[in-house]
Chain A
């Protein structure tokens, strides 16, 4: 019996000696041995990752907005998972509790990173090409992990590409970290990247495809670093990194004298983005000049390519499913703003951020040009980061770094006006005829050194002179903190009142910033992170802050579940979604 077996095995080993017989490379897919041969394959990996990122758009919007205070479910939605998210009572079988789509992209990042390293080692890629792509992939992975941390709290931080089933079974490859530990890891990791700026021209990933330039497809690493530090509570570092991008026009327009140089990423007063034309940011075609003053990172949805634009199904009430809508609170917030001419209503609200379609309020930002009569014309932009967010987040960092005045300036009427005693006293600028040598500037150390001098005698047109502030751009009245108890108001002549209660001032200024972030950035995917970040910051002093913020949405909508939601959010564990393993 045994001999027979051996005979058989012997025969086999002779006949099967030719191992090549059994090595058949797949032709319908790409075997791993064929991938990552040169820099083009590295580019293909980056493109693949971003292709996957686009698939996250709908989920990103829902998680970041519906859980916060500015978006509500419609009465017509039958999606119980959305309803659960809305009231912060998420069951484990909720599809949004499944972090898999994020990890799917992360796994591709891990795979690319590991293979980039191998490519560098075997000299399949030059060092210059390597650092750009390596950093780009690291950055998007970090952004994904930040999203996971925001929504799930404690998560497994996986850096292994999990190539085979052995890796999947290896528990050591799935270290679980708390959100705070995660932030530390992400900061350290991102700071260590070999390259942190947008791709230099000439990079093969910068091209135009199907009419879209890929220049703003990729995450901005400096902004990402700013965000990470802001979450981590290292405000100077946050401001420093944000500031790089606030000044990035210096790099883009090295002649330093054009309108672009003054206005790109500096929230200037160009007529094309101010007042009623603010909505150009969303309505203008991809890559159009003025929206480029504002947009730092965006990805286009094109009607001819998958994935389909998810926002129509979510938001539109005629051809779409009308799953979510602007909350009553969001609508009220815009309605209670006053412009500098004392007329009511913030123009960023009605017919810009949302509109009434029939009698139903519909989120408009993502589907600005969408016409239900042309249901297949679905092109739109998914804006992931833009200058107003940069300024408001910078302001948030500056405020926490004891620069309440800079925060005030960037939020309200700009550096020039805020650092102009005449304007601050009268509300009217002192004009260019003065000698402004000593005013209209912060006279602070970097990253808080803004020079907005704008005068004729002597001539100044300094870099920040066009900065108009987020509210200023809309022609809105400035918002001010309640001075009671925070400033020493005894000297009426003093423009910069001495601060008596710095922590309270910080909180009040921050509240204003949070409100402004809501008005400016509503529905764009910043809201829940903005609220959560502040809530975490104030957790020890004001544990009810987040619960109150969210409950306000239900109060404004006369929804009887306000108290239930408030009490659920009093428990910090409910700030995070259950992590579905």
Chain B
């Protein structure tokens, strides 16, 4: 606050100061690494004078005074804004162009990270957000699963909402890029990820704005990611061509029992169900004497091997850029084929992008961006899908069964075995016969005009459309798969078809005023309007019982059983925004933002508009003095909103209700005409510093987010006849710290850069109706209570195993020896819901990454380590694999189960049906999710060719997920099953990440 007063005073004083006389500044520019003098470097005082360095790197320039700043730039080198601080002579050492310099955001008042993606071509990624992993402090990028193209869930500074979206807003080339899913996927566990339609190779740079985004109104609550795709940088024609090929290794196996151990386990289990040893011995899979069924039940199949495999990737891309003084263009084409490590899963993609810049007149410029991407994804069900998730089935399937049908003589037939006597589907049948196909395409195109009205005023308008279409089909065959039961039939085979469409028309028009007053004051102001009209539709059909497994479409199913449904959504958003950036002598910076939003989601019923102001300031405490290049403090306060409250939630409406085949209407809701956006008030303070010619730099931010008017599903009295009404009646807070440290450890011919990003956040619910809310996902219960983080695991605590029956009886909880001793929290000698406690927190203490970049002559080596610490994971899969209550195969750990009185072990007894609830949601299944992973390692060699048709050849070897250090017992501690806070940290059986090694070559013509 004090800083603000000083700044204001300084501004007022300076208005009365008179202009000084012209002075002369001399100096020399050198290259940072080698110290060689640089010639041809531009030196300028914007709007005043300009000069160029001679062959000795020296320059001489007129300046308005010794308190201003010089802008230094040159091809291949970074741009610096050097504050004179009264000096008459300046020596500057420039780093290479790609150097991530503090000068790039010297004027910024808000936490902003810009990434130049010049290393993008060697990436092994099917979705650009994976690239962001660990590179932006405060942005937690969690890859969803090992399915190629599914991308990652992005959480900016924790989360701001319980029920509305937590996704950051993505803007591509000035236009909102909608990343939401409208209507879910029919493929269990699959997420359609529109971001994957942007090829990382087409991206020039990515700017992540964590704050200072009030102008995005009710879309900015979760931060903004600005993506700029590549445009031609020069008029000369350039052709780049790249080919990459890679190899994916089979994911590590989960240690489950083999036939011998499994049979022993079954015998224990069946005894607990009350069967006599004689009855058990008579079971076909227990009978070791020669009998007709012997070969059917005496195998030792490694089911995991049947569903996973190693696989291959390939990618091709071609870029052509060029043009003339009037028009430049960039065209890119790409093809990608990435296979998963679950058999018969892959992603195929064709993508094309055309960007053009037109100088229509001296004052009028235009830019065109057109992109079209088409994807075909072959997938399998994952997550909680016990009948059709092949990976899960491969874990629980009895190992003594065979993959194929076996006759009495033990000869295997080519046909696959049907679901077994335990009711478990054949995972091999799922792999070979089940279809899960997602085909989608997106067109994203815009045209922009920029008209310079006068020296200081310009008008900028962009109009664009998004057209997105998704088609999904699935078919679950009858053979090999356990049938499902509908309310009016048994479903032997099942089919589904889904079409989702999204259309968006977008316009952003603004007038910009840019003026430098009196040399000291620089003002840029924008006033604009954004308009977005959206239309989404999703229609799906489900069919059952087609005549044979060859008829796989919905139309082939029985007429009577067919189901059709869908959703339609329309909404409009109008955002009027104003922003002004002011700087004084390149030392004091002030930024004010304001948006006023109207939306069909909340404006109509009560004529309410969202007003979102934001103010931030920065003070360059020290600039270019001694060994301090810059030291800057920043602070800001802003308000943003979240309009993801449903399209029609504020209205009262009716839905249909059948009476036999007659259709009637019933009330669907209690309307809440007051319903409005969620408001997120953000406070941010930061400190940036760079020392020793930027060899060492850091950026530190502390923030607090206060969400108010948070969307709540508020319970209402039973006598209303409704369960809930949607209100804006809860609130939460998130605060945190982000640190980014950079060091150029070696700066000679060999360059070694190390960057460490660490971020942390703490979340707390401050208001919620009823003070707490319990939700469930999988078998987990999640507590959302005032004073705690929004999503804590809420279950039973355990305290070992009752070693004897006597001990169990003494406890008086109805347990037996070998049962888990649950903690009786309230001491009522009864295990019930009231004994639940907080048993885990899926929110990490800190996450981040260490990135290394080594450059030596033509070689570069990059290594990215990502890490997470302090987050808990509920291992749902393991809970099923160690429940010891049914026929499912179990992990090797259950060999250590309790078997007799006095046995001391941490694994309870096998008990049919789990009468004591040993497998209930408890801390037995909560594990530490800490990990550190070598996420990427890439080695690149560049061959510069002086002659011939080729300009350069680059060769790269890249590896992803080379190793992961973790104690987590599941497949992978990194997974994300949704953008909702309520599903965080619940490992429900998604396909794991896998290791990929890729070799690539890129050529320039």
Partner of B665, one of A44, A165, A378: A44
Query: CA of A99 to CA of B673 in the docked complex: distance in angstroms?
Result: 27
Residues 295-306 of A, flagged 1 when their CB comes within 8 A of B and 0 if not, give 000001011111
Partner of B720, one of A98, A107, A210: A107
Give chain A residues whose Cβ lies under 8 Å from the Cβ of B653.
26, 29-32
Residue pair A209, B721 in contact (C-beta under 8 Å): no
* Residue A81 CB within 8 A of the other chain: no
Stretch among A9-17, A66-74, A229-237 lining the B interface: A9-17
Give chain A residues whose Cβ lies under 8 Å from the Cβ of B661.
209-210, 304-305
Query: CA of A210 to CA of B598 in the docked complex: distance in angstroms?
Result: 48
Partner of A581, one of B489, B666, B717: B717
Residue pair B652, A21 in contact (C-beta under 8 Å): no
Query: CA of A163 to CA of B668 in the docked complex: distance in angstroms?
Result: 10
A158 in contact with B599 given A22-B604, A24-B571 (CB within 8 Å): no
Give chain B residues whose Cβ lies under 8 Å from the Cβ of A16.
574, 576, 598, 603, 609
Closest to A164 in B: B671
* Residue B674 CB within 8 A of the other chain: yes
Residue pair B596, A162 in contact (C-beta under 8 Å): no
Give chain A residues whose Cβ lies under 8 Å from the Cβ of B656.
30, 48
Residues 659-671 of B, flagged 1 when their CB comes within 8 A of A and 0 if not, give 1111111111011
* Residue A168 CB within 8 A of the other chain: yes
Greatest chain A CB density within 10 A among B666, B721, B722 is at B721
Residues 493-536 of B, flagged 1 when their CB comes within 8 A of A and 0 if not, give 00000000000000000000000000000000001010000000
Give chain B residues whose Cβ lies under 8 Å from the Cβ of A29.
648, 653-655, 668
- Interface class of chain B by DSSP: strand
A174 in contact with B719 given A111-B667, A305-B661 (CB within 8 Å): yes
Give chain A residues whose Cβ lies under 8 Å from the Cβ of B488.
303-304, 308, 376, 378
A9 in contact with B660 given A35-B654, A104-B721 (CB within 8 Å): no
Stretch among B145-153, B462-470, B562-570 lining the A interface: B562-570
Stretch among A49-57, A361-369, A490-498 lining the B interface: A49-57
Residues 711-726 of B, flagged 1 when their CB comes within 8 A of A and 0 if not, give 0000011111111010
Closest to A99 in B: B718
Give me the interface of A with B, judged by CB distance under 8 Å: 4-5, 7-9, 11-12, 15-16, 19, 21-24, 26-32, 35, 41, 43-52, 54, 98-100, 102-108, 111, 155-156, 158, 161-165, 167-168, 174, 209-210, 212, 214, 217, 300, 302-306, 308, 376, 378, 579-581
Give chain A residues whose Cβ lies under 8 Å from the Cβ of B964.
none
Within 8 A of A (CB), among B637-688: 647-648, 651-668, 670-674
Residue pair A22, B721 in contact (C-beta under 8 Å): no
Tell me how far the C-beta of A343 lies from the nearest C-beta in chain B, rounded to whole angstroms. Answer: 42
Residue pair A35, B665 in contact (C-beta under 8 Å): yes
- 13 pairs of residues in contact across A and B, judged by CB atoms under 8 Å: A8-B576, A12-B598, A15-B576, A16-B603, A21-B572, A28-B566, A30-B653, A32-B654, A52-B657, A156-B719, A163-B671, A212-B660, A376-B490
* Residue B594 CB within 8 A of the other chain: yes
Within 8 A of A (CB), among B738-778: none
Query: CA of A158 to CA of B670 in the docked complex: distance in angstroms?
Result: 15
Residue pair B660, A8 in contact (C-beta under 8 Å): no
Partner of A12, one of B487, B576, B665: B576
Query: CA of A64 to CA of B955 in the docked complex: distance in angstroms?
Result: 80
* Residue B128 CB within 8 A of the other chain: no
* Residue B600 CB within 8 A of the other chain: yes
Closest 3 CB pairs of A and B: A47-B664, A48-B664, A103-B721
* Residue B613 CB within 8 A of the other chain: yes
Residue pair B651, A31 in contact (C-beta under 8 Å): yes
Closest to B649 in A: A26
Residue pair A26, B609 in contact (C-beta under 8 Å): no
Residue pair A162, B576 in contact (C-beta under 8 Å): no
* Residue B578 CB within 8 A of the other chain: yes
Query: CA of A312 to CA of B717 in the docked complex: distance in angstroms?
Result: 31
Greatest chain A CB density within 10 A among B600, B655, B657, B727 is at B657
Query: CA of A330 to CA of B666 in the docked complex: distance in angstroms?
Result: 39
Residue pair A164, B611 in contact (C-beta under 8 Å): no
Within 8 A of A (CB), among B555-611: 560, 566-572, 574, 576-578, 580, 592, 594-596, 598-600, 603-604, 607, 609, 611
Give chain A residues whose Cβ lies under 8 Å from the Cβ of B668.
29
Residue pair B652, A106 in contact (C-beta under 8 Å): no
Closest to A32 in B: B652
Residue pair A98, B718 in contact (C-beta under 8 Å): yes
Query: CA of A99 to CA of B718 in the docked complex: distance in angstroms?
Result: 6
Query: CA of A99 to CA of B560 in the docked complex: distance in angstroms?
Result: 34
Closest to B487 in A: A308
Give chain B residues whose Cβ lies under 8 Å from the Cβ of A303.
488
Query: CA of A579 to CA of B718 in the docked complex: distance in angstroms?
Result: 9
Give chain B residues whose Cβ lies under 8 Å from the Cβ of A104.
721-722
Residue pair A100, B721 in contact (C-beta under 8 Å): yes
Give chain B residues whose Cβ lies under 8 Å from the Cβ of A4.
578, 580, 592, 594
Give chain A residues whose Cβ lies under 8 Å from the Cβ of B569.
28
A5 in contact with B611 given A162-B720, A165-B670 (CB within 8 Å): yes
Give chain A residues whose Cβ lies under 8 Å from the Cβ of B662.
47, 51, 209, 214
Residue pair A210, B570 in contact (C-beta under 8 Å): no
Partner of B722, one of A8, A15, A35, A107: A107
Tell me how far the C-beta of B647 lies from the nearest C-beta in chain A, rounded to whole angstroms. Answer: 7
Give chain A residues whose Cβ lies under 8 Å from the Cβ of B654.
29-32, 35, 48
Give chain A residues whose Cβ lies under 8 Å from the Cβ of B571.
24
Residue pair B659, A47 in contact (C-beta under 8 Å): yes
Give chain A residues whose Cβ lies under 8 Å from the Cβ of B720.
103, 107, 158, 162, 168
A155 in contact with B719 given A8-B596, A16-B598, A51-B658 (CB within 8 Å): yes
Give chain B residues whose Cβ lies under 8 Å from the Cβ of A174.
717, 719
Tell me how far the C-beta of A181 lies from the nearest C-beta in chain B, rounded to whole angstroms. Answer: 16
Give chain B residues whose Cβ lies under 8 Å from the Cβ of A15.
529, 574, 576
Query: CA of A8 to CA of B672 in the docked complex: distance in angstroms?
Result: 27
Query: CA of A419 to CA of B502 in the docked complex: distance in angstroms?
Result: 79
Query: CA of A103 to CA of B598 in the docked complex: distance in angstroms?
Result: 36
Give chain A residues whose Cβ lies under 8 Å from the Cβ of B721.
100, 102-108, 162
Residue pair A107, B574 in contact (C-beta under 8 Å): no
Residue pair B611, A22 in contact (C-beta under 8 Å): no
Closest to A300 in B: B660
Query: CA of A44 to CA of B672 in the docked complex: distance in angstroms?
Result: 24
Closest to A299 in B: B659
Query: CA of A304 to CA of B721 in the docked complex: distance in angstroms?
Result: 27
Residue pair B578, A210 in contact (C-beta under 8 Å): no
Residue pair A168, B572 in contact (C-beta under 8 Å): no
Residue pair B670, A50 in contact (C-beta under 8 Å): no
Give chain B residues whose Cβ lies under 8 Å from the Cβ of A7.
527, 578
Give chain A residues whose Cβ lies under 8 Å from the Cβ of B723.
100
Residue pair B596, A9 in contact (C-beta under 8 Å): yes
Within 8 A of A (CB), among B919-948: none
Residue pair B487, A28 in contact (C-beta under 8 Å): no
Greatest chain A CB density within 10 A among B566, B568, B609, B667 is at B667
Residue pair A209, B664 in contact (C-beta under 8 Å): no
- Can you add 13 more A-B contacts, CB < 8 Å, to A16-B576, A103-B718? A11-B596, A29-B653, A47-B657, A48-B659, A100-B718, A104-B721, A107-B721, A158-B720, A162-B722, A168-B725, A300-B660, A305-B660, A580-B718
Query: CA of A155 to CA of B719 in the docked complex: distance in angstroms?
Result: 9
Residue pair B652, A168 in contact (C-beta under 8 Å): no
Give chain A residues whose Cβ lies under 8 Å from the Cβ of B603.
16, 22
Query: CA of A63 to CA of B604 in the docked complex: distance in angstroms?
Result: 45
Query: CA of A24 to CA of B661 in the docked complex: distance in angstroms?
Result: 30
Give chain B residues whose Cβ lies under 8 Å from the Cβ of A47.
657, 659, 662-665
A165 in contact with B671 given A8-B594, A303-B488 (CB within 8 Å): yes
Closest to B529 in A: A15
Query: CA of A505 to CA of B373 in the docked complex: distance in angstroms?
Result: 89
A28 in contact with B719 given A16-B574, A305-B658 (CB within 8 Å): no
Query: CA of A306 to CA of B613 in the docked complex: distance in angstroms?
Result: 51
Closest to B596 in A: A12
Residue pair A165, B652 in contact (C-beta under 8 Å): no
